Chain A
């Protein structure tokens, strides 16, 4: 049995026919690539956490919900276009674009409503407001759409040249991996070479100094939320199409796990988020495949608790002395 996807335990509707009898190596590769594609989605979401944390030191609890909204936008666009009879591949592209735009707009608005008025407030205040925003968005989707699982159309077609490898690497897995890599490379280039990227790095290093040298910090923060949300939406649409169904709570678990990935790699560090996502994806995949899939989520949470206790700075983070 292929490990059951992480947010619909016992409800996987699109399990390719694969068996454990395929042999050890095949099973291993299957877990490896499953973990890789899952990990790259974690990394996509984790990037949003890590960028926001790097700049305003806030755990954006609503980030998982932005990812969920991205998946829902994908579903709605795909549903409308399918009803109109468009071809699958163009649906995928349009759904991705609209989901990204809308999620970015949601991220921007969430920041303006729930976090911006609380700048300079005690640390707990924006955190509680973020939890409130997460609950609000979840229930908004539940009330406006449905509390049940919705089937998600299969937007990624099985490619022919992938046929010989289909036993351990589905086309959608490959697609997720490739897209994630492309998006991450684009992000790295953006942060390295553009003016806004430079401003972001400056703000992350020292917000006051950045302000003094003329960086528009409000704009930088907005841009961070927009980019993070867009990345989450890409992850949302891809994984929803891969798994085949969504509902309004998928953001919660995905959010915590992506946060785990961000912390694992060292929060605030962009390569760290990617590394953390991959490590978490593999950990889950192998633990579910070789130990027990019942406790898959427990492994993720245990990893989170252990890393925070023993190495709070993460794998790539630097241990910093606390300023007084």
Chain B
């Protein structure tokens, strides 16, 4: 039986790869130049496509079989969902040494590795916080926000503009950026309170686009597409650092912010508001019927997510010393969403892992860097189809009631 199913899969994959090769034939093979009126035929691409799609289709069918078997096992009640990764991370004997090691590496990183590496790690850490912020809105509260990058832009431009016009320092702007982020989060949150899942997604997408378009076109306010440069790096009580020192400094600021964010989100998850978010995500009407204030829960989720993004925006502006609207496109939102989806919606650890994977892997595999977004897109589909819970399943706190003690 196993042999016949493998044969069957091979046959199906062959058909699928032929179909995909036929579909992609004109676009992959033909390249036209309508000005010179020449046509280039690139037949090699067809061979790549055939081989590649065959392997992919085999993988797809293999995973499909596994998924079906998993569904059957769950129906029979014999499932044990924890993955190998999950089991390692749940083992208390391993978690503490791992955490300590991670912390140690993080603490000495800028002194061991070069400035270039440190800079990459800083951007990964920024995405960790962004992911955790979006995780609050999407993962916990189930509000699909496709304009998340708008809040990131708010923070970045807040620092850039306040620094340019009023010479305000990084530490003064950081709390201001947080407040502005919360304000913009509420600004978006209020009108969309009544909207359901997919409409909400579209409105947030529109909101994100509006913010970017305004930044691009309102030149007297934001200097348009050319952006704002020469933003001051953060200082400490009047000490100005050199570029290298500033990088190390920003690194430690980011490390502190990441730890703070992890602490906040992890604590929030089990708090009253965190549980009401989960209820909201599972069923809005039932949640309301249980006496949870929907409005408050939604607004809190938007405002908190936006605050984190806005703070990160300020850090981003300080790190690159330059902002322009091109950094805040929909693709950026999609990337943060991919981090949350891949990591596991609602899971703090998963999102951290997702951010490191999606930011660091393309950095270190330069050869593949142009395929980065292609792979992101494919990842989002594959994760949704085969592993909707993400890398690490979000754990729900279970309360055991001890009946014998009573």
Contacts and interface: CB of A to CB of B under 8 A. Distances in A.
Interface of A: 57-59, 69, 72-73, 75-80, 82-83, 102, 105-106, 109, 113-114, 117-118, 121-129, 131-141, 143-146, 150-153, 252, 256, 259-260, 263, 294-295, 297-298, 301-302, 304-305, 308-309, 312, 322, 324
Contact of B377 (A80, A139, A256, A302): A139
Contacts of B34: 75, 78-79, 82, 150-153
Contacts of B26: 73, 76-77, 102
Q: Which secondary structure dominates where chain B touches chain A? A: helix
B195 A128 contact: no
Contacts of B192: 309
A131 B334 contact: yes
A132 B377 contact: yes
B169 interface: no
Given A133-B377, A139-B371, A260-B206, 18 more contacts: A69-B27, A75-B34, A80-B30, A80-B39, A102-B23, A118-B384, A122-B388, A128-B144, A129-B385, A136-B381, A138-B377, A141-B27, A144-B45, A145-B31, A256-B206, A305-B206, A309-B195, A324-B285
A10 to B, nearest CB: 10
Contacts of B371: 139, 143
B32 A83 contact: yes
Contact of A301 (B64, B209, B338, B388): B209
Interface string B188-222: 00011011111101110111011001100100000
Nearest to B382: A132
B380 A131 contact: yes
Contacts of A133: 377, 381
The 4 closest A-B pairs by CB, nearest first: A79-B32, A132-B380, A136-B377, A135-B377
A79 B27 CA distance: 12
B286 to A, nearest CB: 8
B23 A106 contact: yes
Nearest to B380: A132
B374 interface: yes
B385 A118 contact: yes
B379 A132 contact: yes
Interface of B: 19-20, 23-24, 26-28, 30-35, 37-39, 45, 64, 138, 142, 144, 146, 191-192, 194-199, 201-203, 205-207, 209-210, 213-214, 217, 285, 330-331, 334, 337-338, 341, 370-371, 373-374, 376-381, 384-385, 388
B27 A144 contact: yes
Nearest to A80: B39
Given A59-B198, A305-B203, A305-B207, A144 B377 contact: no
B13 to A, nearest CB: 13
Contacts of B23: 102, 105-106, 109
Contact of A308 (B28, B199, B334): B199
A305 B38 CA distance: 45
A114 B194 CA distance: 28
Nearest to A136: B377
Nearest to B210: A301
Contacts of A121: 384, 388
Nearest to B190: A309
A102 B146 CA distance: 30
A150 B31 CA distance: 11
Contacts of B142: 124
A260 B209 CA distance: 13
Given A80-B39, A302-B210, A132 B27 contact: no
A50 to B, nearest CB: 13
